[in-house]
Every structure is written in C-alpha cells, then in structure tokens.
Structure 1
Amino acid sequence: MTAVLGVPARRRQAPAPSFAHLARLSDDTGLLEHARHAVPRREHGYCTDDVARGLVVVSREPEPAPAVLRLAEVYLSFLTHAQDDSGAFRNRLSYDRRWTDDPALGDWWGRALWGLGTAAARSTAPWIQQEALYAFELGAGRRSPAPHAMAFAGLGAAEVLRRHPEHPGAAALLADAAAAVGWPDSDPLWSWPRRHLAYASAALAEVVILAGTAQQDIALRAAGLRMLSWLRGLQLVDGRLSVLPAAGWRHGSPRQQYDQQPIEVAALADACATAAAATGDPAWHDGVRQSIGWFLGDNDTGAVMWDRATGGGYDGLTPYGPNLNQGAESTLALIATLQHGRGVAGFRATGR
C-alpha cells in the first residue's frame, strides 16, 4: 500500500527495540559516543551523557536478557567512576581511560542522576538498585544553574519516587527541577518559560508534569501539560512530526527545518507517555505513535531513520535524507522511543 507523504496509509505495530547496535558501541568500560556508519569511532571516546542515557533504556526493560543486564552493569560502573565525592560528575573519558575534564554539574550530571534513578527504581537486579540509589543520593544534594541539567536530574528523582515515594532527597530535587524550568508564558502563541527552544525541550515539560503530580499541585501539573501540548502542536505538520532542528528556535526568528535530531523525538515520546499516565487520557498516546512513526518514515522527507540490519538509529534528518552515521545518542533515542510502543496500540504511518 502506498500513500502521499503525511497521509496515513495503514496501521502497523512498532518493531521491538533492538540492543544489537548498543552492544556494538559498548565495551567493558562504557559506551562509545560516535560511529561512522555502524562502526564505533574509538578516537572520540566515551561520555557520561550517553552512558547515563544507556542506563535509562536498559533499566526500562522489564525482562532484560543477560546481555542487556550486563550493559547495565557496565554503565553503572562507568557512572560511579565518573562521580566525585561531592556528587558532581566528569563527562569525557578518552579511549585510553583518561578523564579529559573536571567534575561539574552540567547536563551530564543531570543525565547521570536520571540514569541512576531509573536503575534504582526499575532494575531487575537488587545489587544494581542498591548501588544506583547510593550514587543517586550522593548527587541529588547538588543543584545546577542550568534548567536542562535540573530537568534531567528531576526525571531521575521522579523515578526514585516511583519505588520510594517518601524519599526526601528525591522529592526536594524534583520540586527544585520544576522551579528551575519555570512557568510557561501566558501568551498562547508562545506557551513556554523562555523565549528560546533549545534541545530535548519536551523533557522540561515532562518534569513539570511529574512534579505537579508528585506534589498533587493541580496548577503545576496543568502548566506542564500546557507546555507539552503547545510544544507538540508546533512540531506537527499534516499529522506528522517535524521536530525542531539542532539549532533550536528563538521566538520571533525564522524557524529552520533541518537538521532534525532523534533526541527531540525521544524526549517527546517520553513526555507524552508521562502525560498519558498522569492524566489517564489515551489521546496523549498519539504523540508516542507520531514519535515512533518519525523513525519509520513518517517525517518531512519520508526517510526511515534506523538501520534494521544493525539496530542503530541514524544521527539526524537532513534535507537529503538521513545522516547514516549511527552514534550512541541517536541509537538510544530510537530504543527509548520504541520501548513505549509496547503499551500503545497500532499507530498511523506513511509508506514511500
């Protein structure tokens, strides 16, 4: 069956996430950041940002295969090695196992707490849960001046609260994360706390929803839902996702169409799944379906954004189709998005 781009052609189920390429990018130290096509590029080394995201996706698996559980062990060991006694994290490790930066509280700190919190809440291995919670608690007392870093950390805090609802450190961090994001503007044409949309924007809306839910603050939860609804709406074109490019978008300036990054799609899928769980409204699952559809070709060029043979995700969508490199960030975004397909009915996608 064929269809015009953007017009639904048929209902089909999301493919199961594959961990084959993630295993290809991983070794006994961590997760290599970059690849040329499907071949890991050792010269670029490892980064805490990606290892933390790796721990998120492997910890989300309800029945992980032994190889996937082994990845969780490697990623957890990497993060605990990256963390200093104050709870901050280094981000970059060269292939010869030398840190090239000092501990700090950038995005990688937030993502590390996200990964640790997810492992503490969801891992099937008790020892991983225990060690992840210890490392999370060490880092959760710190605060970053960066809203994105705080949002990622808040996602980890929300995970800890899933298993430990009375955890004071997690509750305080989640509340502070929402405060760091701020309240959306009252202008319905720009329902966002800032005048610039950068990267992984849906994560900011998601942490506000989670904080409002945890605090039973109806107004705060509604603010997060309003942010997410507005963000999703401006990235829809004829029913398909056209996500903001890597350059972002500043209010009042021309909006670029490319290069679109898988991280935006994954963040939107996560946030829509959270909104569906928080509200009980299955209409939010449409955002998950559209995110899955983006990877399968329901996007601005009709390009499939993953390699079925390797299991890797392509690094970005350009005017000429996909960037065929299959690095860690894009592969993790693919896996994270497909994981949501388990709980969502068949979705609309287009063929070419």
Structure 2
Amino acid sequence: MSAATPGFEHLLRLSDDTGLFEHARYAVVRREHGYCTDDVARGLVVACREPRPGRRLTRLAECYLAFLTHAQDRSGAFRNRLTFGRRWVEPPGVGDWWGRAMWGLGTAAARTAIPWIRDEALHTFVRGAEQRSPHPRAMAFAGLGAAEVLRMTPDSTVAASLLMDAVAAIGTPSEQPTWPWPQPQLTYANAALAEVIVAAGELSDDRQLLTTGLRMLTWLSDIQTHDGLLAVVPATGWRQGAPRARYDQQPIEVAALADACATAACVTGDDVWHERVRRSVAWFEGANDAHVSMRDPATGGGYDGLTEHGPNLNQGAESTIALISTMQHARRL
C-alpha cells in the first residue's frame, strides 16, 4: 500500500457478513470480542469516501449499513456491542457509538454513488437525529455526519439543528492563548471538536465561528508538533498545567487531526493545512517519536499504538481504519 493507494485488504480480513470485528492478535481476528457499532460506523465512513468503489468495497458498505440499521432502535438510539453469536449485550444508548453511527450514516448519505445505500443511510440518519447525547464527543461525531448531509442538502433543517447543537455541546473555548480549548483536558479524537466548529462556521457562513474553530485547530496542531514531527497526545490524555506523557500514542488521534486539517484546507484554501495533513501521513510512515512505521506492509493493517518500545503489533479495526482514512487524504494531496 502506497501513500496514494489506501488499502482495504485488512479491513476485509476483519469483516464478515455480519459486520466488522473489533480486535485482532497481530493480523488475526479475535472473534471472541465480537463487533461494535463504533468500529462499523468508522468502517462505513472510509468505505463511502472512496470515489470509485469496486464490488467488494460496495458490498462492505452495504454490510456495515445493515449492521447500523439493525443496531438502531425506534427512538433513534443505537446498541453498541454484538457478540460473535449475534446477541446484543447492551441496551440502546447515545454514547460515542451513537455519534459515530451518525457520522457514518451522514457520510454514506452524502458521498456514496450507490442509490440504495444513500437512501437508506439518510433515512436512518434522520431517525438518529431525533436523539441528542450529553457527551460532547458523541455530539461532535454526530455533528461531522450532519455536516456531510448539509454539504449535500444545504436546506436540511434536521442536519443543521444537529450540527449547531453539536457546537453548543462542545462549548466555548477558553480565551487563554496557552489553552484555547473548551475543556481543561485533551483526551481522545480531540481534533474532531475543532473540525465540527470549522464545518459549522463554513456551512452557516458564520465567520466568527469559523475563526474560533481554526484557532482551536491551529493550537492543537502546533502543540502536537515537535521538530517537524507529529507527536499526538497519548491515550492517558493531557490536563492543562500537568506534565504531558509521551506514550502511548494512538492512530485515532493522527487520523482525527488529518481529517480536521483536510477540512480546514478545503474551507480556507491555505496550503499550511495540506502540510499538516502530510505530517499525519508521515507519522504512519515512520516520522514519529520512535522513528518506526505504524503499518504492516504484508497485511495492510495499522498497528494499534505507538509505545516507548515501538509499535503495538496488533492490528485492530480502529487503527486500521485510522490508517486508511489518513491515506485517503494523502491520495487527494
């Protein structure tokens, strides 16, 4: 897999006719952990971003969409975890998995060229948009899906309402120049929060909101860049005023930053954002704190994390999708 060709071989290896398995030991599926809506939704995003999907990729998108429609209840909430024996183990809810499902559905409704996938995704998205989550990140993920729908259908009041509610849930960033962020701690998928505000500013033609999102994203990108290399906030997070750990760095952080910077590049036309996308691509190729590749050339899988001893060689769904997503941006560059 080259930077210009995002590979789906390992994602196909992790999938069956039900959905997408969450975990792998090295490159081999661990079926005992089953499936989750979180990862299936992520898979739908990258499958539907492909401009010319072949038969296998179209079938994968259909499978992931069917999983999400099965996971959703009549209220629009989603179940998250399904066992290998096809038994749901949690009640429907509006945690991160609801937000990511909405992101996947919005992307499918807006980007796929397959009419029946597009129509069913939009129907399921509209039902899901009846819900709201108390969790800012869940709302941010849902807001990304809403932004996708609005780019396709600018007069969608359902999507517009969800997007602006996502902005409200994220909150107003601090005025402190050293920490211009809405919360006192960076945790996971941080760049998604800034991306939603950038998208909302663009789609509502609100220049102040757009400026706020770009300021957040600039700061987040700058504090995660050292000597020209990307060094994302580790899995333990980073609280304002506290020491910052170096490891374990997660591919999801790199992919979220690439997504947000690609959106900023599209909105502003400024080449500086393209360069920041390239740093994310380079992180997977070895331009990171440990100077090691974060993908397996034999399988096409993405490694599960960057530790002080090198990569975690397991190749689960989240990390593989993060790799694919980032390489999709590389191809567009």
Report TM bin, short chain: over 0.9
Name the counterpart of 1:214.
203
Distance 1:308 1:125 in 2: 30
Distance 2:8 2:56 in 1: 9
Secondary structure, aligned partner of 2:323: helix
Distance 2:130 2:207 in 1: 26
One-letter amino acid matched to 2:315: Q
5 Å-filtered alignment, 1:99-110, equals 99-110=88-99
Q: Of 120, 125, 138, which aligns to 1:136?
A: 125
Q: Does 1:28 align with 2:17?
A: yes
Secondary structure, aligned partner of 2:94: coil
Name the counterpart of 2:174.
185
Q: Does 1:255 align with 2:244?
A: yes
Larger CA deviation: 181-190 vs 319-328: 181-190
Deviations 1:2-47 (A, max 9, x none): xxxxxxxxxxx72411000000000000000000000000000000
Deviations 1:210-253 (A, max 9, x none): 01111111111100000000000000010010000001101111
One-letter amino acid matched to 2:332: G
Secondary structure, aligned partner of 2:311: strand
Task: List alignment gaps of at least 5 residues for structure 2.
Answer: none
One-letter amino acid matched to 1:189: T
Q: Does 1:61 align with 2:50?
A: yes
Name the counterpart of 1:298.
287
Q: Does 1:157 align with 2:136?
A: no
TM norm structure 2: 0.99
Q: Does 1:272 align with 2:272?
A: no
Distance 2:324 2:3 in 1: 11
Deviations 1:319-347 (A, max 9, x none): 01100000000000000000001221xxx
Name the counterpart of 2:155.
166
Distance 1:290 1:258 in 2: 18
Distance 1:190 1:283 in 2: 21
- Let me know the Cα RMSD of the aligned residues: 0.7
TM norm structure 1: 0.94
Percent of aligned positions that are identical:
66
Deviations 1:273-299 (A, max 9, x none): 000111111210111100000000000
Name the counterpart of 2:270.
281
Name the counterpart of 2:38.
49
Task: List alignment gaps of at least 5 residues for structure 1.
Answer: 1-12, 345-352
